[in-house]
Every structure is written in C-alpha cells, then in structure tokens.
A and B are shown apart, each in its own frame.
Chain A
Amino acid sequence: MLQYSEKVIKQFRDMTNNGRIENADGVGKVGNPVCGDVMWIYIKVKDDIITDCKFETFGCVAAIATSSLATELVIGKSVEEALQVSNKRIVDLLGGLPVEKHHCSVLAEDGIKKAIEDYRSRVKK
C-alpha cells in the first residue's frame, strides 16, 4: 500500500467542489494513460475571473485529492493566474505524494488547463 501524507488523506476525506456544473463555461476532460483514470474539470467564468470550479474523478485517492485542491486554488483567480497553477504547487501544498502518484497531480493541472482552453475557444466564437 502506498503511503499518503496526512494532508492528502485530509483533502480526500473532506473533499470540496466535487460534482458537475451543469452550464459550465468550460470543461476539461482528461484521461490518464498510466492507469486509466478519468478526470473532468468544470469552470464558471465571469469577467475573466473563475467564479466556480468543480471536478468529477474516476480515480484514486491522489487523483481525487489533487483535483479537489486544484479546484480550490483556481476559484477567485483570473484565467491567466489559474493557468499558472502547477502540479508541483499542488503536490507541495499536499505535503508531497508518493512518486507513483505524481502523474495523478499532472492530471489535475492538465484538467484545469483543458477547461480554460475550452472556455477560451467558446469565447472566441
């Protein structure tokens, strides 16, 4: 069994922002080629500020904890600032992850980026 930090377990246990946003302004759907997990990130944007963010994850403790924390980190940020949220930052804030689980945090970062990409492509139209 993998060793998780107390922070990871706490984030997993008390997870926030899980679920979907029905009329989201952007959706990022990412999949994990390593272990087959799936993560969908929804964002709501107003005046270039991310006002809400939720996630759905079919994945492990690390995937759930990192996606939950990622949503917390981007809410209230501008789209540009949200793009700066890196998986490294997420991992650091969680007090580290087992090496085998780093790819789960990459998924969280990618999910946010994909959601913003999706939002931008919609705005352009």
Chain B
Amino acid sequence: MAEIYYLDNNATTRTDPAVIEAMAPYFGEKYFNASSIYSSAQYVRKDIEAAREEAAKFINADPKEVIFTSGGTESDNFAIKGIAYANSDKGRHIITSKIEHPAVLETCRYLEKNGWEITYLNVDKYGMVSPDELKKAIRKDTVLISIMYANNEIGTIEPIEEIGAIAREAGIYFHTDAVQVAGKIPIDVKKLNVDMLSLAAHKFHGPKGIGLFYLKKGVRIHSISQGGHQERSKRSGTENVPAIIGMAKACEIAGEHLKDTAGMAEIKALRDALEKGLLEKIPDIIINGHPEKRIDNTLNVCVKHIEGEAMLIHLDFDGICVSSGSACASGSLEPSHVLLALGLPHEIAHGSIRFSFSKYNTAADVKKVLEVMPGIVEKLRKMSPMWNERDKK
C-alpha cells in the first residue's frame, strides 16, 4: 500500500498502540466473565471498575454514573428512547436540532412514528442552535432536549452550558451527544448541566464498538436492554472487557493530551494551515461551520461547481482519505442534512469535502493536500458545465 494521508478523524481514529497493549491481556489470560464468583473473575471485575473510574474522571462524573455501551449510536438511542418510554405519563414531546447525527435524528423519527412529537430546531448559517428558539419550543409536555455538543460534519460547538441551564430551569431532561468533543475539549458534565451524555471510544484513539453513556443519578429512564443485570440492570449483557479496558486507556491518554497545550495547538495549527492554503490556492470555495466556535480539528469546505465524490476519489488516488457531504456520495442521494440546514443550496452542498485531523497528523499531510488539491479542482472544474458557464450569468 502506498503512503496514506489520513484526514478523516471525525469518521474514526487510529487506535493508540498503548490502548492495544492495554487490551491484549483481556483477550488472552484475563478472559473471565466478570460476573463469576471465583477470584480470577473477580480480578477482572476490579479492572472493569477501575476502568469505570478512569472514564468517569475523563468527564468529571461519578463512576456510578457511567454505563458502558457499544458506542455513540447505542448511547444516543439509550438516552432518547429510555427517557421517552419512562416519562410518557408526563408527556411525549422532544426537542432536538436539524443537524444532529443520524443516531439521534433517526431515533427521534422512529418515536415520531410511534406517537411522540418532535421539534427539530433550526440552526443559523454557522450551524448554531439558538437558546432563545429553544426556550420558545419548550412545552408543558416536553420530556427531553437533545442537542449535540459539536457537529461531526462542520465542527460547530453548540452552547451546551446555556442550553443545559435552560433545561434545568424548565425541569426537562437534557442529553448531549459529545461524540465529536471527546479528546478535543475537556468535558465536565457538572459544568455543562447535562443529565446524559454520549461518547464513542473510537473517535479518540480507543477501540471501535465501545462507548460510554453518562447517566446522572436520579434520572428516570428505561433500561436499553433487559437480561443478566449488568451495568446496574440498565444495560444487560456480558461486559466487553477488552474494549472497556481499551476505552479507559484512551480516556487516560486523551486526558493527558488535553493538558498538553502545545500538542493541542499543533492540531489546530495544521487545520488552520490547510484552511489558509486552500483559500489561497483555490478560488470560489466556502468554509463551513462557525469561524471561531468550531472544534480545532475540523475543516469543511464547499468547492463550487464540482461534485464531492469525484474530488474524494481523486484525493484517494493520491492516498488522501477524506469524506464528503455530497448527494452523490451519500448512498441515499440526499445531500448532507447538516449543510442544507445551514441554508446552503443543493448545488453548493454538492461540492463539500471534510478534512478532520488528529494527533497523528503532521505537516506532511497538509503539504500533500495543498500539492494535489488545486490540480484536482482545476481538472474537475474544466469539465463542469457550471464552472464554464459561471461568468455568463
């Protein structure tokens, strides 16, 4: 395989070698079921509980408030269905936003088909939810507000603290999908005023298929699965021990990295260098997302008059891994719901490309993109009727 320039870290990240090392014994000699009584198994139980403490520390929660799940999707499902089912006597109205991840949106649509009412809040051109609009959307029968902490496509950071305060005052449960925030901004569930929060380990150099659901004490919620009473009966099923240990290690490493200001600044510097370089080298491009309130690793651009999938495959020829919100790249043939919610017309959303960085990126990645991208854009524009007609309008 030729050299890879991996700039798709919002899709998933490379597992840290230290994480793999920490996990290995739990596939091997520490294979015991943590629910068994004998001492060998009880050592595994202890390790799980130590992992829970580590994960709790990462978000400033009490270990008892941490439930291990299979990832972001399950945690989001847990929050939304769990609250909806447990509180339907109080009401059947939920507030969310138009730019949530499908794990939230599709769960809400599912409930909508089953008798719940959902308000999907608009966002402004930067992708920001307005706390005022949220206030106006609150009703007597509202049981849950679910707003993501940062958006996976454009990186915009939502005013979670403020929304949390509004929810608390109104006595409504508040969930945030913080999947794209972990390892990028320190998370403090107490400061954020959240009742529930979702994380997925694979977005911060942990293993795939493991996540965390923060559930504040006292929240009235249904279990996500019934069975053998694991995770305080909220999420039954034999624990995925290697993955739990791996996620805890990833939390520990990410926690340290967040304190390393130079290391964090480097990721932002790379992203900014790419943004600046693309703006200099390619005419007629748009940067999406909030200019300042944006996670430091994310750069989403729309290249006018060409299509994202064609760009993406050309970048792939050069070993560059990115993603696109274009209709043609989506399988559903719908452009990204996030870009449309920003008010971008269909044909602009068509040319979207997302670059997302991690601690493993270097200046060589930025250099490579800046070397090849202008040529790719020029080539595709030359054969685009929209580009060739642009002056004639």
Contacts and interface: CB of A to CB of B under 8 A. Distances in A.
Q: Do A and B bind each other?
A: yes
Contact of B326 (A13, A40, A60, A62): A60
A57 B383 contact: yes
A98 B309 CA distance: 14
B284 to A, nearest CB: 14
Nearest to B350: A36
Contacts of B386: 38, 58
A95 B64 CA distance: 55
A46 B317 CA distance: 39
B329 interface: yes
Given A1-B329, A59-B307, A12 B382 contact: no
A37 B329 CA distance: 12
Interface in A1-34: 1-2, 4, 9, 12-13, 15, 18-20, 29, 34
A58 B333 contact: no
Interface-central residue, B326, B327, B328, B335, by most chain A CB under 10 Å: B328
A100 interface: yes
Interface in A67-105: 100, 104
Contacts of A62: 328
A115 interface: no
Interface string B219-231: 0000000000000
B194 to A, nearest CB: 33
A1 B347 CA distance: 20
B175 interface: no
A64 B384 CA distance: 10
B236 to A, nearest CB: 34
A4 B386 CA distance: 25
A18 B382 contact: yes
B372 interface: no
A64 B306 CA distance: 11
A2 B328 CA distance: 10
A40 to B, nearest CB: 5
A35 B382 contact: no
Interface in B370-391: 382-388
B346 interface: yes
A60 B309 contact: yes
Contacts of A18: 382-383
A69 B260 CA distance: 53
A96 to B, nearest CB: 16
Nearest to B347: A36
B331 A58 contact: no
Contacts of B347: 36, 58
A55 B388 CA distance: 12
Contacts of A15: 383
A72 B307 CA distance: 23
Contacts of B331: 2, 100
B328 A37 contact: yes
B305 interface: yes
A57 B382 CA distance: 9
Contacts of B307: 37, 58-60, 63
B384 A57 contact: yes
Contacts of B384: 56-58
Nearest to A36: B346
6 contacts: A2-B331, A18-B382, A34-B333, A57-B383, A64-B383, A100-B331
Given A35-B327, A58-B386, 9 more contacts: A2-B329, A19-B382, A19-B383, A35-B328, A58-B347, A60-B328, A61-B309, A63-B328, A64-B310
